[in-house]
Structure 1
């Protein structure tokens, strides 16, 4: 299974008390050991506590292999300046870091570092929309045009709200004509503001990938721009405020923020960089840590995202009907899909989550996201027996390094090959 879209050694920061591992030296400064958070306590939640019906243990889930995890972080390519990862569950905990938080000073990556989430923000938006559906304020089966008249072209067919969340709307996406794409332009325009309505207006000028909403799936951002606009129209508040009051604050995610236009990252963090070509063929790293947060602008930590996954999968954020929507993967083809995709040519996204079955038969759910200088991801087995959260800092722009992502997934959820 492949997800869509000589370095210094990684350093194990902390493991469960009964399985402590030695610290491996990094090229950067050595960090002191840190302690992962305790088990997630109950929260005041909108759900009933009903969780997805799952087996108690996933067949094929191996013992936690800390050496494999350490090796996966060590395999980060030279186009990644820093990385951190956290694995948690009943089998124990592990956290590791790689590389440098600051290439100028050589400062080590902080294990509790904050990072930009990119499209992991979509999962939070999906939860808010599903909460609004549970409150009777939006009908997922009704066309979004009834709630946001005039936002989409008149010639569009009815596009149900549900299709915005599960990537089957058929809405077109932004292209290189709409936003800066070269490294130099990205650096120059990283503080530009692009309101949601503007992004949608630019996107719908392009050809739709398919004509019948709900008939196919293809990943994109336009549907979530509309979903965020829908949240704002229904509540009268910026969608960032709704995420904060409905999810961040009730779960006590103290290191998670949903900024509207603050370009900074609070707390300890690794810098984000982009490699800008120079005359003669060389490249120079430009620091783009500060940037307009834009539409995927949430900031969090591995501990907070682990807590979010735990509470979400325990059914404490959504009532049963909406919890089922969260895991409902449409039975439709994936546009341009292949046998090597997580869905093997069929849809593999639900409402804000990705489903993938690994070669050993273990199925994981989660979400990846990227913005310039930052890539993040969170994955878990549906019974929460093993959970992974990671972040790394690519220098090639706002994209996943798929080989690295697959290595950390494999190290977390599959057994290493026999020697």
Structure 2
């Protein structure tokens, strides 16, 4: 989502100049580790502490949270502030917008429908959404469901053609999914279906429309019925137009550039993200979802294997993309599975290993200051997964402002 973050900054600068209310950020960086973790000391534990501290100092985030879960329990690390005006700390049970972390939820529902023989992965999109994908060389008769979920359809990303300033002028406005898809279809495909890989949020708007056509329920209702309720994810929701974030949560901020002041955009209508990125969750809930997913409790074996059948993305870090789920190599060996997400005000990265460890990191600014934020978030997740709860013990490197209780 880095390209989108750069695209947002120019429009945000104009909005700030036009008089949108902003707040200054000063003096963040105090971190607290909460939990009962214990274990040997080491450079890796210090590294994780430094990364959380870095997210709220050098990287410019107001606040950050890391939730680590393994077979021995949960540990939470927070840094910085939830509100730049009140200076309140980040609640350890924070809810936040998870952006494209919504995609694994949506892909899971589609794959459940595949397991129920109601959808075929290799059927054309036209079978389920007749006449919808048309124009400028785009043709749903030549694009499969699998290609939507794996970003190999070649469809243009509607966000690349959407002016963020229009959203800022009226952040509570409703955005119709068909209209958003139409923005993408007014542009030619990036490549012929199946011949390349290009991350496109348009794919997942169409996946949500497919769910609705097959089930006759909204994608939000199906995610709630099939995933949120069975797993008891109390902090997770799939809102349609509700601009509020329920429960304890940090404020969400945007910053047009590294030296620009912050703008509070906690409340906005998530319909502009829809089934590509509208969901709300918490660190603990994301971890529980990823655990259930990779452990095979949400999908039948055949569909989970399809989800984990990845293709390279060209990323230098070894990122490979399956069906709404991506893998990355761990520095300690092996792979982890997860996704990232950014949406106005929040960035999230979550990952899980097949042996029962999960970690999720949240920062309450997006667009942020630099791309280093995303890199440091991924590194924190990888460090946590490699070293488990022992990575969070003894978090007191000199001068970091980190405390443990």
TM class, shorter-length: 0.7 to 0.9
Q: Secondary structure at the match of 1:129?
A: helix
Question: Residue 218 in 1 paired to residue 198 in 2?
Answer: yes
* Residue 162 (1) aligns with residue 146 (2): yes
Work out whether 1:10 is the aligned partner of 2:31. Answer: yes
Given candidates 273, 292, 299, the residue that maps to 1:311 is 292
1:395–1:299 distance in 2 versus 1, CA, 3 Å:
closer
Q: 1:135 to 1:399 in 2, by over 3 A?
A: farther
* Cα distance, 1:123 vs structure 2: 0.5
Counterparts of 1:407 and 1:105 in 2: how far apart (Å)? 30
Report the alpha carbon displacement of residue 81 of structure 1 after superposing the two structures with TM: 0.7
- The correspondence of residues 318-357 of structure 1 with structure 2, limited to 5 A, is 318-330=299-311, 334=313, 337=314, 340-343=316-319, 348-357=320-329
More helix by proportion, 1 or 2? 2
Cα distance in structure 2, aligned partners of 1:398 and 1:352? 27
TM-score by length of 1: 0.78
C-alpha change, 1:163 and 1:282, in structure 2 (3 Å) is closer
TM-superposed CA distance for 1:115, in Å, is: 0.4
CA spacing shift, 1:169–1:342, aligned 2, 3 Å: same
Residues 176-325 of structure 1 aligned to structure 2 (within 5 Å) = 176=160, 178-182=161-165, 185-211=166-192, 213-275=193-255, 283-294=260-271, 295=274, 296-325=277-306
- The SS at the match of 2:249 is coil
Equivalents in 1 of 2:342, 2:74: separation in Å?
25
Provide structure 1 residue ranges, at least 5 long, that are not aligned to the other structure. 22-62
> Is residue 374 of structure 1 aligned with residue 354 of structure 2?
no
Aligned CA distance change for structure 1 residues 405 and 246 (closer, same or farther; 3 Å): same
Within the alignment, does 1:83 sit opposite 2:59 as a pair? no
Q: Over the residues paired in the alignment, what is the CA RMSD in angstroms?
A: 2.8
Please list every run of 5 or more consecutive structure 2 residues that lacks an aligned counterpart in the other structure: 6-26, 392-405
Distance in 2 of aligned mates of 1:307 and 1:410: 17
Cα 1:398–1:254 change in 2 (3 A) is farther
- Structure 2 distance, partners of 1:358, 1:306, is 17
- Tell me the TM-score normalised to structure 2 length: 0.81
Q: How many residues align?
A: 355
Q: Give me the whole-angstrom Cα distance separating, in 1, the residues matched to 2:253 and 2:142.
A: 41
**Residue number in structure 2 paired with 1:43:** none
